[in-house]
Amino acid sequence: MAQPSFEAAFKQLEKIVAELESGDPPLETAIRKFEEGMRLARLCSRKLDETEKRISVLMETDDGRVEEHPLRDAEAVKDSES
């Protein structure tokens, strides 16, 4: 199974918390949900860190292909911010 997106994981986490807070599931279910929630929270945290910073420019070549290049100026922009 493909890893869920940050958003899917986050929404699932919110749902689990809401379920735990609103309903009164059997303890085993609650514990299972808790563990699932913790797993999703770790996944979300990991996802937040895994994206890589890149600034690029997207162009169409003369023969109609799509090309993406790193953008130097933008790098400068970002460097000036950090």
Partner 1 sequence: MDSKTPSGGPSASADPAIPRTVLSVSQLTLKIKQLVEAAFEFIWITGEISNFKIPASGHAYFTLKDAEAQIAAVMFRGVRRTLRFEPRDGLGVVGLGRISVYPPRGTYQIILEYLEPAGAGALQQAFEALKAKLAAEGLFDVVRKRPLPLLPRKIAVVTSATGAVFHDICHVALRRFPSLAIQLVPTAVQGAAAVEAIVRAIALANRDASAELIIVARGGGSLEDLQAFNSEPVARAIAASSLPVVSAVGHETDYTIADFVADLRAPTPSAAAEIVVPMKSELIGRIHHLVDRLHGRLRARMNLYRARIGEMAARLNVTRRRIDETRLRLDDMAARMVRSLQQRFAYQRQRIRWIEARLLAAHPRQRMARMRERLAAQTDHLVLAHRLFVARRRQGLDPLVARLTALNPLAVLGRGYSITRRLADHCVVSDAGSVAAGTDVEILLARGRLKARVTGKRD
Contacts with partner 1 by CB under 8 A lie at: 5-7, 10-11, 13-14, 16-17, 20-21, 27, 30-31, 34, 37-38, 41, 44-45, 47-60, 66, 68, 71, 74, 77-78, 81-82
Chain Cα centroid distance, residue 7? 6
Distance in Å, CB of 41 to partner 1, minimum: 5
Which two structure tokens, joined as six digits, stand for 16?
């689990």
* Residue of 14, 20, 18, 15 lying closest to 34 (CA atoms): 20
| CB of residue 36 to partner 1, shortest distance in Å | 10
**3-state class of 65 per DSSP?**
coil
